[in-house]
Structure 1
Amino acid sequence: MTRQSTLPESCIRVFLLITLAAALIITPAVAGEKFLYGSPDLRVAITGTNEFTPGEEATVNLRVENTGLTTIKIVRSDIVARDDRPDTAKMAVVKLKSGDAPLSIKTDPQMIGDITGGSSATASFTIQLDEDAKAGTYTIPVSIEYTYLSSADQHGDDFIRYFYNTKVIEKDLRIVIKPDVRLAVTDIETEAVNVGTEGYVTLTVHNTGKEDARSATLRIERSGASPLIPTDASSYIGDFPSGAVVTSTFKVSTSKNAEPGQYPLNVLVEYKDRNGQVKHSDPRTIGVTTGGKIEFTAVSPPVAVSPGQNTVIDVEYKNIGDAPVYRATARISAVDPFTSNDDTAYLGDMAPGETKTARYILNVDSTATEKIYGLDSEIRYRDALDNTQISKTMKVEVEVVPREAALPVVAIGAILIVAAGLGYWYYRKQQQQ
């Protein structure tokens, strides 16, 4: 009886295991889902400021938001899950245009990728406003091109076909071009602007902008590595309303290593706007003509002197520069075998191309070697701004030559006796007549 009851229990256990395994094998896959009545709905706006000034290069930041919603969702075991939702804007490309606004777009269309419903993406564009842009409010168009899932057809439980559409939307964005102070340099005059010296630059400027400047200061600045360097760089001009014209004078210096020519100089105005904020106008670069440097040369031929003598020498100097000099004084440096107790000479004012003569007393040592020597000489003068300047060192050539041989004393006495005799003879002859 015991064996008959045990066998059925074993069969029951095997049957249950087989049934459980079969149940696991034929369990359906996880239920899929699909959405009905959803599509992208894109909106775009400028983030940050939308106010700009003429001539400005600025960045416009755009935010693209997808407000699309899915209103119906179906979940069922026989549905194959979709890879894309119908409210997703895929492969979105943003393009900014200038429209009628006085600006240019310097950035190509921007790819911002996929934007799912309820999310956003950003794009940045660089714009350049026209120099003469008028103040006011302008609209600039922006277009967004994207692809979205329009529908999907399922065939069986293992095949689905997607259908995508491409759409382009156009939006208008508003920007504001603010009035500002804009400079136009209408006249440039220079005085004594020469290489290696200081001079004056007088500028006439016109406020061509639409903003009235208050408590304004006109300034000049060095432009890059220009050899033209401001030394008196600002001029207070007070109120400088739109359309006004002012004239100011500045002092500049030119590097001694420069060549004559035209060099850049920046001009701008610092002012308070209508809200009391301190602003700076965009700098204007002008060209300032610079004359040549002030130079001298000794033009006289070598001066002949003899050993053991004190000699008065004349040296001619010529102003070969491009500017006059004032109260010039020449000096010669006497070195061995020369000495001098009178080594300076006043030349006075010298115009370009003018020549003046300096006179010195030069003592020559009796042991001096007979040859040509080069003595250093320089000229100290005042420039047009009454600054003391010293010229480059010049060489004055002095040639030591042999002394002329003196006549013997006996020969001199004989000559005197003969001369006296001839004189007496001539006198007697005149008396006899």
Structure 2
Amino acid sequence: MYGSKLLTTMLILLVMIPVCYASYIPQSFSLSDNYYTVYGGPELDAVIAGESEFERGDDVYLLIDIYNYGKILGFDSDKTPSNANEIALAQIEKNYEEGVTTAIGILATLENPYDAPFDIKSPTQSVGSLRGGEKTHAPVEFELKVYEDAPAGEYTLILNLTYEYQKNVEISGTPNMPEVNFWYDDEVTYIPIKVKVKKEPLFEVVSVDCDLYPGKKSIIEVVYKNVGEETAREAIARVSVVDPFSSIDDQAYLGDIEPNGTATAIFKLKVDSDAVAKPYAIDSEIKYKDEIGDTKISDIIKIPVEVKQSEGGIIPIEKIVVVIGIVIGIIIGRYFFKRKFDMGKR
């Protein structure tokens, strides 16, 4: 367990480091006309701009601002200008070299390498270019679906940013008609994005007790369990029925249900006389107050039930035994009565 946590921590730290692709010198780049080598480049980071904590089952948009903190760290002189033309060309190159901090054509992809309980619905987003010191004009949006059964807690998603940057510039020609050659490299930066699933009650049905027959009224006893992390206060369960059921009493007060606690609801239903004997699922939901007193309604909770064959359709074995006993009794009685009657005649 400890080794797994350590490995995850190391991976998260590693993804924060920009990764350069293989670098190839352009054919137009001679290096003999290069006056300066510039140190520095883009430095991208990302911050959540809106909500970062969501409820189970939510369809949400995660808003992310992207910043470029890139700076020029220094210059090296590769070639000393020897005349006025070269001095002018060197100055032109230096001006172009300041573009080294610009991240060009940024593409943002939100990834889920650690199997967080989210479904990322948005594809790769085009962000454009960011100069050093700039941020996105508007947050980048990613649509997420939080799993219905997501455990509460903090999770890590990864923002994958790929872009080009200007690695070097070479100037030739004359100051009036300079020939500018650019050398671009590809780079990718991985940024961890922390999101949370909110602590809240979560319900499931743990047992159902009922006897349902066509044309009959019946009581359904349902035991709910709070498998979430917070107490559900003043909880009320309610069923929503469709054919072949109709409700007589469709609500039940459950009270406060603590985490891992249970509560029993009793509903009164009637089954249509023409109901088919088979398994069904009845929709239910629980209305409750959360920790700060706000009223919440749970997702639909299915109650599995079964309508059994009508009691009039198949005679229970007990009744069959009683009937057989009565018939045998009648036969034996008639036998002894007839025998006594015959003996009297003699």
Task: Give TM class, smaller chain.
Answer: 0.5 to 0.7
Q: TM-score, normalised by structure 2?
A: 0.62
- Cα distance in 1 for residues equivalent to 2:271 and 2:310: 9
Q: Which has the higher helix share?
A: 2
Equivalent residue runs for 1:10-409 within 5 Å? 39-68=41-70, 85-100=99-114, 102-107=116-121, 109-117=123-131, 118-120=134-136, 121-129=139-147, 131=149, 133=151, 135-156=152-173, 157=177, 159-194=179-214, 198-222=217-241, 227-254=244-271, 258-292=275-309, 319-320=312-313
- Work out which structure has the larger RCO, using CA pairs closer than 8 Å and 6 or more positions apart in sequence: 2
- Cα distance in 2 for residues equivalent to 1:230 and 1:158: 86
Rg bigger for which structure? 1
Asked whether the equivalents of residues 193 and 200 of structure 1 are also in contact (C-alpha less than 8 Å), the reply is no
Shift of 1:47: 2.5
Classify the secondary structure of the residue corresponding to 1:191.
Answer: coil
- Cα distance in 1 for residues equivalent to 2:283 and 2:315: 25
CA 1:140 to 1:93, structure 2 compared with 1: closer, same or farther past 3 Å?
A: same
Shift of 1:289: 1.0
- Cα distance in 2 for residues equivalent to 1:58 and 1:215: 28
- Cα distance in 1 for residues equivalent to 2:147 and 2:284: 20
- Cα distance in 2 for residues equivalent to 1:208 and 1:251: 26
CA 1:130 to 1:155, structure 2 compared with 1: closer, same or farther past 3 Å?
A: farther
Letter in 2 for 1:238: G
Letter in 2 for 1:264: A
Asked whether the equivalents of residues 94 and 123 of structure 1 are also in contact (C-alpha less than 8 Å), the reply is no
- Cα distance in 1 for residues equivalent to 2:112 and 2:314: 55
Question: Which structure 2 segments of 5+ residues have no match?
Answer: 1-37, 75-87, 321-346
Shift of 1:175: 2.1
- Cα distance in 2 for residues equivalent to 1:197 and 1:115: 71
- Cα distance in 2 for residues equivalent to 1:91 and 1:130: 36
> What do you get for the CA RMSD once the two structures are aligned?
3.8
Question: Which structure 1 segments of 5+ residues have no match?
Answer: 1-35, 295-318, 324-350, 353-433
Shift of 1:254: 4.2
Asked whether the equivalents of residues 117 and 150 of structure 2 are also in contact (C-alpha less than 8 Å), the reply is no
Shift of 1:113: 3.5
CA 1:164 to 1:266, structure 2 compared with 1: closer, same or farther past 3 Å?
A: same
| Aligned residue pairs, count | 260
- Cα distance in 1 for residues equivalent to 2:116 and 2:247: 35
Asked whether the equivalents of residues 246 and 271 of structure 2 are also in contact (C-alpha less than 8 Å), the reply is yes
Shift of 1:221: 2.6
